[in-house]
């Protein structure tokens, strides 16, 4: 089966659609992504607002549904500035380079099984390749060029630094992301998205390969430059990051690309780990759940679930420091991913060579690994608590220029006696708890 | 090659949208000249003059890029191996184990020499 797959350039059942169907599917995917973007921007603002005890935008249209559209129109009516120091051609090219690949990555995502459209049997998927997931990674990498070139061509300090950070971040987390896919390919025996979904009939890979799933979810947040990993646009340090100099619809394109990328990584997570368009458990008992057009609903629901997690993270976690962020990527995610990969491969080899069903090993091993990793966080937290519980060392002597900077007296420290000519300053001496 | 054509259709669609948006933004927006507006943005102060060729940035970024290439090539080897894992059997597992071990030596070396620190 595998040898046949590698030899044939096409996945069975794909590449035979009539032209009008291809065009129709492409338009539907495009519209789907734009609508998802508009909706996600609004949902993010509303949900984060609720998390912060605010109401959020609710004036434009019913429930504020047209807010994002209004913002887009407003951006279109703003002046399109190209700074004097910018490299004009590259400056204009960068948003295009960042938007187009974001949309293109969605071409291989399966929305559902085979259905009939106007009498034509077809898969609810624009196309599928034997190397579909590799194709997504490749296209996503082209999108990084948009960010690099945007920062470089702006001819300004903040965008340059922002784009460098962003690039280093994307490539660091791409390694962990790439490693997390290997387990899936190993079990599915294919890189084609439709076959990976087909292989998840009895076990979703989120269950079977839980650590892979966890690594993917963490690195997908890093890959999309979202909080708590949005260091590329840390306002306090870098203004707006790589798109500081962009205005009008060019800025809107970067915004669009970011949200489309969010939808894409969510859809990829759904496809590779959550069974794609397959109905979740209680619903899957109903036989019709995985037929006809119903799977589109399950697929969209799972994608929305991931998008909600993105918003939830943003509403909950503070931004990491850059060195902590790189440390997490290179010193935690990559070694854990490699170790897990070796374990999966060993279990799988035992499975096929000695006919010993070891899937339970993976499931329980994965749960154990997750609990262990969770415990390290708890341990970190407890250690930090006990560290903070000890009162900081306070010397009774107050050094007003400790470390070369003027510092106020700490609680318990005394101001030195000031001796003014003729009097003593005894009356002003007091502890400085509440000045 | 037929299964690659739909990708080009979607690509053309999104490319067209992006180009159209930029052209539209150029036409719909007002244009009011102001010298300060065309300067690089630095929170309101006079912008620092940029050196020709983009200026300098920390060498750590080069190091990260090189490490990325090493691990990305590892991944490129891992994918076809994973897809045909069942056909390779125990032999494939041992071979890849040795390859990953070699890489782990490199990884340990980089870690030990502080290549993964970011200060």
User: What percent of chain A stands above pLDDT 90?
Assistant: 14
Token duo for residue B22? 């930029």
Nearest alpha carbon to residue B67 among A178, A48, A175, A60:
A175
Chain A CB contacts of B67 below 8 Å: 330
What is chain B's alpha carbon radius of gyration, rounded to the nearest angstrom? 25
Q: What whole-number distance in Å separates Cα of residue B80 and Cα of residue A131?
A: 10
Full set of structural domains in chain B with CATH: 2-112 (1.20.58.1610)
pLDDT tens string A327-361: 888 888 888 888 888 888 888 888 777 776 667 77
Q: What is the pLDDT of residue A197?
A: 87
> Which of A27, A81, A185 shows the shortest C-beta gap to B37?
A81
Q: Which of A91-95, A277-281, B78-82 has the lowest mean pLDDT?
A: A277-281
Chain A CB contacts of B118 below 8 Å: 322-323, 326-327
Are A154 and A308 in contact, with CB atoms under 8 Å apart? Answer: no
What contacts 24+ positions apart, CB below 8 Å, involve A368-371? A369/A210, A369/A211, A369/A336, A369/A340, A370/A210, A370/A211, A370/A214
Q: What is the mean pLDDT of residues A236-254?
A: 82
Cβ neighbors of A398 (< 8 A, separation 6 or more) are: A409, A410, A413, A414, A415, A416
Mutate to test the interface with B, among A82, A188, A330 (most CBs of B within 10 A): A330
Q: Cβ–Cβ of A323/B119 closer than 8 Å? A: yes
The per-residue b/e assignment along A380-413, b for 16 or more CB within 10 angstroms, e otherwise, is eeeeeeeeeeeeeeeeeebeeeeeeeeeebeeeb
Cβ neighbors of A260 (< 8 A, separation 6 or more) are: A33, A36, A37, A99, A102, A103, A106
Token duo for residue A174? 């791409």
What contacts 24+ positions apart, CB below 8 Å, involve B77-81? B78/A178, B78/A179, B78/A182, B78/A341, B79/A134, B79/A181, B79/A182, B79/A185, B79/A191, B80/A6
Q: What whole-number distance in Å separates Cα of residue B13 and Cα of residue B10?
A: 5
Name the pLDDT band for A199 (thresholds 50, 70, 90): confident
Q: Is the pLDDT of residue A62 over 60?
A: yes
Mutate to test the interface with A, among B8, B22, B24 (most CBs of A within 10 A): B22
With residue B95 as reference, give the H or E element that holds it. Answer: helix B85-112
User: How high does pLDDT run on average in chain A?
Assistant: 82
With residue A121 as reference, give the H or E element that holds it. Answer: strand A120-124
User: What percent of chain B stands above pLDDT 90?
Assistant: 11
Q: What whole-number distance in Å separates Cα of residue A415 and Cα of residue A430?
A: 7
Give burial (CB, 10 Å; 0-12/13-18/19+) of A371: exposed
Nearest alpha carbon to residue A233 among A171, A360, A147, A304:
A147
pTM for the full predicted model: 0.83
Q: What backbone phi and psi angles, to 5 degrees, belong to B61?
A: -65, -35
Give burial (CB, 10 Å; 0-12/13-18/19+) of B66: exposed
Name the pLDDT band for B55 (thresholds 50, 70, 90): low
Q: What is the pLDDT of residue B45?
A: 74
Q: What is the mean pLDDT of residues A20-30?
A: 88
pLDDT tens string A147-197: 888 888 887 778 888 888 888 888 888 889 999 999 899 888 888 888 888
The β-bridge relationship of strands A112-117 and A120-124 is antiparallel
Q: Is the pLDDT of residue A30 over 60?
A: yes
Q: Which residue of A has its CA nearest to B81?
A: A186
- The neighbouring-strand residues paired with A369 are none
B119 vs A76, more confident: A76
> Which of B18, B60, B83 shows the shortest C-beta gap to A189?
B83
Give B21→chain A minimum CA distance, Å.
6
DSSP string covering A269-333:
HHHHHS-TTPPPHHHHTSGGGGSTTHHHHHHHHHHHHHHHHHHHHHHHPPPPPHHHHHHIIIIII
pLDDT tens string A104-158: 988 889 888 888 777 777 888 888 888 889 999 889 888 888 888 888 888 777 8
Q: Cβ–Cβ of A107/B57 closer than 8 Å? A: no
DSSP A15: S
Q: Which of A33-42, A143-152, A244-253 has the highest mean pLDDT?
A: A33-42
Q: What is the mean pLDDT of residues A89-118?
A: 88
Q: Cβ–Cβ of A353/B72 closer than 8 Å? A: no
- The neighbouring-strand residues paired with A115 are A122
Q: What is the pLDDT of residue A304?
A: 92
Name the pLDDT band for A7 (thresholds 50, 70, 90): very low
> Which of A23, A100, A353 shows the shortest C-beta gap to B90?
A353
A391 vs B40, more confident: B40
Q: What is the mean pLDDT of residues A210-219?
A: 89
Q: What whole-number distance in Å separates Cα of residue A3 and Cα of residue A269?
A: 27
Cβ pairs A/B, distance under 8 A? 229
> Which of B1, B10, B97 shows the shortest C-beta gap to A103?
B10
Give B98→chain A minimum CA distance, Å.
11
Chain A CB contacts of B98 below 8 Å: none
Q: What whole-number distance in Å separates Cα of residue A82 and Cα of residue A90?
A: 11
Give B97→chain A minimum CA distance, Å.
7
Q: What is the pLDDT of residue A429?
A: 47
Q: Is the pLDDT of residue A428 over 70?
A: no
Q: What is the mean pLDDT of residues A224-242?
A: 76
Phi-psi region of A193 (alpha: psi -120 to 50; beta: other; left: phi over 0): alpha
Q: What is the pLDDT of residue A1?
A: 44
Q: Cβ–Cβ of A95/B117 closer than 8 Å? A: no
Q: For residue A155, what are the CA distances in angstroms to A166, A237, A325, B34, B57?
A: 17, 18, 27, 18, 14
pLDDT tens string A286-325: 777 777 788 888 899 999 999 999 999 988 888 888 888 8
This model of the complex carries an ipTM of 0.88
Q: What is the mean pLDDT of residues A68-96?
A: 87
Q: What whole-number distance in Å separates Cα of residue B11 and Cα of residue A103?
A: 7
Mutate to test the interface with A, among B1, B2, B3 (most CBs of A within 10 A): B3
């Amino acid at each position: 089966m595998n040898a046949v797959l590698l030899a044939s350039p096409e996945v069975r059942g794909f590449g035979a659609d009539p032209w009008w169907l291809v065009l129709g599917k492409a338009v539907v995917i495009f519209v789907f992504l734009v609508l998802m973007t508009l909706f996600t921007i609004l949902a993010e603002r509303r949900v984060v607002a609720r998390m912060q005890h605010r109401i959020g935008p609710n004036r434009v249209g019913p429930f504020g549904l047209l807010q994002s559209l209004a913002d887009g129109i407003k951006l279109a009516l703003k002046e399109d500035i190209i700074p004097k120091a910018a490299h004009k051609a590259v400056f204009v090219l960068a948003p295009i380079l960042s938007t187009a690949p974001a949309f293109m990555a969605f071409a291989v995502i399966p929305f559902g099984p085979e259905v009939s459209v106007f009498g034509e049997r077809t898969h609810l998927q624009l196309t599928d390749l034997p190397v579909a997931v590799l194709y997504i990674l490749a296209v996503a990498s082209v999108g990084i060029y948009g960010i690099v070139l945007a920062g470089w061509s702006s001819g300004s300090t903040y965008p340059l630094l922002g784009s460098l950070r962003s690039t280093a971040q994307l490539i660091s987390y791409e390694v962990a992301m790439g490693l997390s896919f290997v387990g899936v390919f190993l079990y599915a025996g294919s890189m084609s998205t439709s076959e990976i979904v087909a292989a998840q009939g009895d076990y979703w890979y989120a269950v079977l390969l839980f650590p892979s799933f966890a690594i993917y979810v963490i690195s997908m947040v890093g890959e999309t430059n979202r909080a708590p990993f949005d260091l590329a646009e840390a306002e306090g340090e870098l203004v707006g990051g790589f798109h500081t100099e962009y205005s009008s619809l060019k800025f809107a394109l970067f915004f669009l690309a970011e949200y489309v990328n969010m939808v894409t990584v969510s859809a990829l997570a759904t496809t590779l780990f959550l069974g794609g368009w397959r109905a979740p458990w209680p619903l899957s008992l109903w036989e019709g759940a995985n037929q006809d057009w119903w799977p589109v609903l399950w697929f969209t629901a799972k994608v929305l679930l991931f998008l909600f997690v993105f918003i939830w993270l943003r509403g909950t976690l503070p931004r990491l420091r850059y060195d902590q962020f790189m440390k997490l990527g290179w010193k935690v995610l990559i070694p854990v991913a490699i170790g897990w990969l070796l374990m999966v491969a060993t279990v799988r080899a035992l499975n096929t060579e000695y006919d010993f069903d070891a899937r339970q090993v993976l499931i329980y091993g994965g749960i154990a690994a997750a609990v262990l990793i969770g415990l390290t966080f708890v341990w970190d937290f407890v250690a930090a608590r006990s560290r903070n519980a000890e009162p900081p060392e306070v010397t009774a002597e107050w050094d007003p220029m400790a470390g070369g900077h003027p510092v106020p007296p700490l609680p318990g420290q005394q101001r030195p006696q000031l001796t003014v000519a003729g009097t003593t300053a005894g009356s002003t001496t007091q502890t400085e708890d509440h000045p | 090659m037929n299964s690659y054509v739909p990708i080009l259709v979607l690509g053309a669609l999104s490319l067209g949208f992006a180009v159209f948006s930029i052209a539209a933004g150029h036409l719909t927006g007002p244009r009011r000249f102001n010298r300060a507006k065309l300067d690089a943005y630095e929170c309101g102060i006079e912008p620092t003059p940029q050196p020709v060729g983009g200026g300098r940035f920390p060498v750590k970024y080069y190091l990260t890029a090189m490490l990325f290439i090493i691990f990305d090539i590892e991944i490129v080897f891992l994918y076809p191996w994973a897809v045909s894992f069942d056909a390779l059997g125990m032999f494939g597992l041992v071979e890849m184990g040795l390859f990953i071990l070699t890489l782990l030596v490199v990884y340990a070396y980089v870690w030990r020499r502080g290549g993964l620190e970011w200060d």
